[in-house]
Amino acid sequence: MITKPLFRKNFLIFASIILVFVVVAIALSWILTSFERDRMFLRPAGMNRALLDAYDKDPFKALPLLNEFSRKNGLEKHDLINADGVSLTTGKKVLSSALTDDQMHALKKDLAISASPSETQRMPGPPPEVISVTNQEGVFLLSKFGGPRDKPPIGPIVTLTALIACIIISIGIALLYQFSKYQERSREALDVLNSLREGNLSARLPSRKFDELALLTNAFNEMAGDLENMVEQLRKADRTRRELLQDLAHDLRTPLASLRSFLETLQTANHQLSEEKRQEVLSLSFTEVEYFGKLVEDLLFLAQITEPKYSLGTETIRLDERIQEQITVFRQRYPRLQFDFQKTGDTFVLMGAPRLIDRMLRNAFENSSSFAKSKIRIELTQSGKDLQLQLIDDGPGFSEKGLLEFGHKKSSRTLVSESSDNKRISVGIGSVIMKEIAQLHGGLLRASNQVEDGKVLGAKVSFSFTKS
């Protein structure tokens, strides 16, 4: 395939090869046509006299010898004429008209004149007729230059043939050079593919200036980059799954061990326990079952949101309406808390999966409501294509360890008070779920403390999104 970048890159090489072969073609045609140079049209009249003088000073004696020479070499016959255009050898009129005064004047200046309509006429038509002076006054030599009509000169044919052949050869050599470059690039591509096959995912094809394969090279490098990113994400996901499995093994072992201990206590010492103690053991058993059920539910949901079907959202979500729905629910669950919702901006639209966004908001409200003392402030801000959601509570804030673990699986469970009479178990992966959902929607999750004069006034959980 010949492309514009190919000629831009190798223009000097192609031009040099073609120029060299054009020069060779011209030189070759000059050498070949030199063998018939005696048939070429010569203007100087002195050459005609020199031909006659070479045979005899008397033009009438020299003419037969000159014609014999012309016959042997395949040239036209010469003749001697007078000013009236009549042949002095046959007595026939050979010119259509007598020589004019201007022609006679030119002949006196020792110049040859043309008796044909065009000096450059070569084929078809008769050869050009040239008149020149001789040694005798009033006797002129009539010469016809050029071979017979059935034997055209080979000069133009040789020149044209040599030019065509040399141009074809030069283009062939140039293309052969270019295809050798293609072969070199193919070897480079094979080396890169072998490197990728061996595990070196950073291997790339070198990109060159004015490369005719630049588009293909860039597309291949982009594909290799996407492959490297995909493998890296799979490695990270695999690493995260292994860590979660380790935490899961620990978290499952704890409630199962507790349940077994409680059941053994009821089995072996049931009659020895008071009713109050028996109810306490049953309450602790139900607490462990609740923890176990919530742990399985969250882990199952966390596994589901990493599936490809959740990677891209296709629905339009009004984030302010979803937040208002969660506020209505949590006002009923936490009547002692005040929820203050503030909006800044015009549109709060986000493309995504409504089920996931609802779960993210529920976890965020659950986290803030569990630790708030009296008030939660929700701020939703839209600036251009950026959306930011902040939940700020007036609770004790995050500990230093809590900030480090936020968004990661905790190593232990936490007992959180909702009221004086009700307690719930924090499994420890709620922030992990929020982080995963935010990332699936192209967002970020941050946690920090509200600090004023060195005093912690509460915790802040922030979500940042870019609208599609």
User: Which of 279, 297, 300, 299 is CA-nearest to residue 289?
Assistant: 297
CATH number at residue 90: 3.30.450
Residue 174, in any domain of the structure: no
Of the residues 95, 129, 145, the one at which a domain ends: 145
Of the residues 145, 160, 191, the one at which a domain ends: 145
**Alpha-carbon gap, residue 414 to 411, rounded angstroms:** 10
Residue 121, in any domain of the structure: yes
First to last CA, the chain: 41
**What 3-state DSSP class applies to 209?**
coil
* pLDDT tens sequence across 282-339: 888 887 787 777 777 777 777 777 665 555 556 888 999 999 999 999 999 899 999 9
CATH number at residue 318: 3.30.565.10
Write out the chain's pLDDT in tens, 468 residues. 444 555 555 666 667 777 777 777 777 667 765 554 444 444 445 666 677 777 778 888 888 888 888 788 777 788 888 888 888 888 888 888 888 888 888 877 766 777 755 444 444 445 567 888 887 888 888 887 654 444 555 556 766 777 787 778 777 777 777 777 777 778 888 888 888 888 888 888 777 766 667 777 888 888 888 888 888 877 887 787 777 667 667 667 767 777 788 788 877 877 777 888 888 888 888 877 877 777 777 777 777 776 655 555 568 889 999 999 999 999 998 999 999 999 998 888 888 888 888 888 998 998 888 889 999 999 999 988 889 999 999 988 888 887 887 877 654 444 444 444 444 444 467 788 888 888 888 889 999 998 888 888 889 999 999 876
Domain range for 457: 310-466
Per the CB < 8 A criterion, the answer to whether 204 and 228 are in contact is: no
* 459 Cβ contact partners less than 8 Å away, ≥ 6 residues apart: 368, 371, 392, 393, 395, 396, 397, 398, 447, 448, 449, 450
* 200 Cβ contact partners less than 8 Å away, ≥ 6 residues apart: none
**Alpha-carbon gap, residue 214 to 21, rounded angstroms:** 31
Place of tokens 């283009």: 171
Residue 410, in any domain of the structure: yes
Instruction: Provide the residue count of the chain.
Output: 468
User: Which of 304, 288, 303 is CA-nearest to residue 413?
Assistant: 288
User: Which of 364, 336, 361 is CA-nearest to residue 421?
Assistant: 336
**Alpha-carbon gap, residue 43 to 51, rounded angstroms:** 14
Residue 276, in any domain of the structure: no
Of the residues 112, 130, 145, the one at which a domain ends: 145
Per the CB < 8 A criterion, the answer to whether 122 and 157 are in contact is: no
Strands 375-383 and 338-344, by their bridges, are parallel
Residue 134, in any domain of the structure: yes
Residue 2, in any domain of the structure: no
Total count of domains within the chain = 2
Place of tokens 């890169």: 192
**Alpha-carbon gap, residue 95 to 104, rounded angstroms:** 14
Residue 338, in any domain of the structure: yes
Residue 17, in any domain of the structure: no
Place of tokens 């009659």: 271
